[in-house]
A = this chain, B = another copy of it.
């Protein structure tokens, strides 16, 4: 448990006017520790939106409507036990380095996700800031590293679902190290960015690819996770597709296999049997993003295409919840000693 002076955890959110920050706040406001007064929402900071009331930017966060956003500075963020960062990439390191080591810093951005400095430079440019414990408790020994951690890198949304979809197969040696991921995403994954291509008039009724042939920055993060699971480098082809919905990722992930379906199912059942948020669906059922909307749930289905010699795993998450803020709160829970599942909806908002 974080040692806060008065037994109440004080939490700040930097980037509170963005989608990641807003979703962190949504979850915190319904968190049982907040409701019982043991978690307090402190500074809410923003970039160009500083000075505005939160209610004008995040009208769904009624209980905080009157709170005024302040500037994202070290001074504003100091004096908190936990600081969530929802900032453009490249901005987290400077802040993190000047906050006390005892502060739990949970970065929803990309700065501290990659191990490989060269990969960082190739995909993001600029100097690599370092690597922090990775907020995906379901993979490898991440859960152990997150308990009591003071610095946490929240995974990217696509890597979350793609990694959970394929890691068990690679870890069990059931697939060749060659993954193809085509993932359909809701538009909130692009952030609250003023871009003509993200206007409602443009996205509604239309699907489009973007960042094809390895152009998307989540490619090396997926490869890092799958290679760690496989114990050998896994080549990843990743194509993101924008679909006309605000939230959700539906990923179709394939890799060559000679395994049969029974073996694959047994492997996945075992891998996720104890996981509270990952659900291998019954045979015949298929994941939909609607069924996990607003929740921290991950749904998976596995299949083997024997004609094509491919393992096919389809996975669904809410990109803002399990894909970002849910993972952030789940990581906070582990870091400060709360119940891992506290404040994280397991039930989607459907229909």
A350 within 8 A of B: yes
Contact call B347/A61, Cβ cutoff below 8 A: yes
Nearest neighbor of A194 in chain B, beta-carbon distance: B194
- Selecting from A4-12, A167-175, A242-250, the interface stretch reads A242-250
Indicate whether A206 sits within 8 Å of B245 (C-beta atoms), given known contacts A213-B303, A252-B212, A282-B55.
Answer: yes
Across-interface contacts of A38 in B (CB, < 8 A): none
Q: How far is the CB of A302 from chain B (nearest CB, A)?
A: 9
Choose among A248, A286, A306, A347 the residue with the greatest number of B CB atoms under 10 Å from its CB. A347
Q: How far is the CA of A281 from the CA of B314 in the complex (A)?
A: 30
Contact between chains at A308 and B237 (CB < 8 Å): yes
Number of A residues near B (Cβ < 8 Å) is 96
Is A129 located at the chain interface by the 8 A CB criterion?
no
Shortest C-beta distance, A321 to chain B (Å), equals 9
**Contact stretch, chosen from A141-149, A150-158, A182-190, A224-232:** A182-190
Task: Specify how many copies of this chain sit in the oligomer.
Answer: 4
Min CB–CB distance A201 → chain B (angstroms): 4
- A244 contact set on B, CB distance < 8 A: 200, 204, 243-245
Q: Is the CB of B347 within 8 A of A26?
A: yes
Q: How far is the CA of A288 from the CA of B57 in the complex (A)?
A: 13
Is A279 located at the chain interface by the 8 A CB criterion?
Answer: yes
**Contact, CB under 8 Å: A204 / B246:** yes
Bound complex: CA A132 to CA B346 (Å): 34
Docked Cα-Cα span, A22 to B293, in Å, equals: 14
The 0/1 profile, CB within 8 Å of B marked 1, for residues 19-31 of chain A is 1001000100110
CB of A137 closer than 8 Å to a CB of B: no
Partner of A252, one of B192, B239, B243: B239
**Contacting pair B62 A346 (CB below 8 A):** yes
Which residues of the other chain, B, contact A59 by a CB distance below 8 angstroms?
281, 285, 288, 291, 299, 350
Q: Which residues of B contact A3 (CB under 8 A)?
A: none
A346 x B63 contact (CB < 8 A):
yes
In the complex, what residues of B have CB within 8 A of residue A201's CB?
19, 186-188, 190, 192, 198, 246, 351
Task: Report the separation of the CA atoms of residues A205 and B163 in the bound assembly, to the nearest whole angstrom.
Answer: 24
**Chain B min CB distance to A4 (Å):** 24
Q: Can you name 16 extra interface pairs (CB under 8 A) apart from A204-B244, A239-B312?
A: A180-B308, A182-B239, A184-B241, A188-B351, A192-B196, A192-B199, A199-B199, A200-B202, A204-B351, A206-B288, A209-B314, A212-B314, A213-B305, A214-B305, A236-B307, A293-B349
Can you report 24 residue pairs joining A to B where beta carbons are below 8 Å apart? A22-B350, A22-B351, A32-B35, A55-B285, A60-B290, A60-B348, A60-B350, A178-B308, A180-B180, A184-B243, A188-B351, A204-B204, A204-B244, A205-B290, A206-B288, A206-B293, A212-B303, A212-B312, A212-B314, A214-B306, A235-B308, A237-B254, A239-B314, A246-B351
Q: Which 3 A-B pairs have the closest CB atoms?
A: A206-B290, A208-B288, A60-B348
Binding site for B on A (CB under 8 A): 19, 22, 26, 29-30, 32, 35, 55-63, 65, 178, 180, 182, 184, 186-188, 190, 192-196, 198-210, 212-214, 219, 235-237, 239, 241, 243-248, 250, 252, 254, 279, 281-282, 285-295, 297, 299, 301, 303-310, 312, 314, 316, 345-351
